[in-house]
Chain A
Amino acid sequence: MTQVEVVFWIFAVVAVGSALLCITRRSPVASALWLVSTMFAISAMFLLLDAQFIAAIQVLVYAGAIMVLFLFVIMLLNLGGSGPSDRLGWIAGPVMFAVAGLLMAQLWVLGRLTPPEALMRTSESVADLAETQGIVGMIGEPLFRVYVVPFEITSVLLLAAIVGAVVLAKRRL
């Protein structure tokens, strides 16, 4: 196992452990903080997978903006304590076994996966591309050439989300 793989598995364990704590803590604030920990670990994994720019964006947008929004709403609605309302239903036990079984089946398939030849790009890897075009240029070039229409649609989507959030959350306009 190379050094990169060892570091990757350390962060993988942190991410999975934090995610597990996130879905089991009774208090929503604790859940949100464990989710922040998961996001940071995922960001570190992005870094190891040659996606430095996306890793920075992950910390800024997810761990920063979105989770602060979540915590803000939790505290605004005063949901901090763990009330009796967040119980597991009667269906939880069988569903837990079903999900665990599904997970194990998927892992079993993935464990004996040998990536097909089509997934092995040998000519120019992302790391080489980052050398020639730069880390941000490598993403920006396709973003503003091939994907320019989806990019513009995203701006409309964000505008619609801003207007929608204001209209929904306001008591009366």
Chain B
Amino acid sequence: MLLGPALTVSVILFSLGVAGVLFRRNAIVIFMCIELMLNAVNLTFIALAQQLGPEGQVIVFFVMAVAAAEAAVGLAIMIGIYRHKNSLNVKEINLLRG
């Protein structure tokens, strides 16, 4: 019966991901923290799939596909930003600020 421990670990990993997004200023590290949060959610899905049937594992499959697409596009955007700004510090990326 690993549901309780798995949900606990998932909460800790998700909170660490949120903390990373809030603390760090490097856009790539923020992006890695988003991947960490996606992994924490996947862990929740798998833990509940053990109790409720394999549909949760199918959802994890979709989450991974979306994460891969997101990583490809996001990193391409970062290369574009770096070309313009010569930096990936989110403090300096304020093009859309009014």
- Among B19, B48, B49, B80, the residue within 8 A (CB) of A168 is B80
Q: Give B16-54 as 1s and 0s: 1 = Cβ < 8 Å from A's Cβ atoms.
A: 111110111110110111011001001100111111111
Known: A16-B16, A51-B46, A157-B66. 5 other contacts (CB 8 A): A16-B12, A16-B13, A73-B28, A146-B55, A154-B66
Determine the distance from Cα of A161 to Cα of B8 in the docked complex, in whole angstroms. 33
Contacts of B55 in A (CB 8 A): 142, 146
Which B-chain residue is minimally distant from A95 (CB atoms)?
A: B22
The interface of chain B, by Cβ under 8 A from chain A, is: 2-9, 11-13, 15-20, 22-26, 28-29, 31-33, 35-36, 39, 42-43, 46-55, 57-58, 60-62, 64-73, 75-80, 82-83, 87-89, 91
| 18 A–B contacts, CB within 8 A, in A order | A8-B2, A12-B5, A19-B36, A22-B33, A28-B28, A42-B13, A73-B75, A89-B23, A95-B22, A103-B15, A110-B7, A111-B4, A115-B4, A151-B62, A157-B69, A165-B72, A165-B73, A168-B76
Do A164 and B73 contact each other (CB < 8 Å), given the known contacts A54-B60, A86-B25, A102-B15? yes
- Among A45, A54, A77, A164, the residue within 8 A (CB) of B6 is A45
In A92-143, the 8 Å CB interface with B consists of 92, 95-96, 99, 102-103, 106-107, 110-111, 113, 115, 119-121, 124-126, 129, 138-139, 142-143
Determine the distance from Cα of A35 to Cα of B89 in the docked complex, in whole angstroms. 20
- Decide if B76 touches A31 in the complex (CB within 8 Å): no
Determine the distance from Cα of A23 to Cα of B4 in the docked complex, in whole angstroms. 25
Contacts of A70 in B (CB 8 A): 28, 31-32, 71, 75
Interface centre among B15, B58, B89, by most A CB within 10 Å?
A: B58
How many residue pairs between the two chains, A and B, have CB atoms under 8 Å in the bound complex? 227
Closest-CB distance, A84 to chain B (whole angstroms)? 10
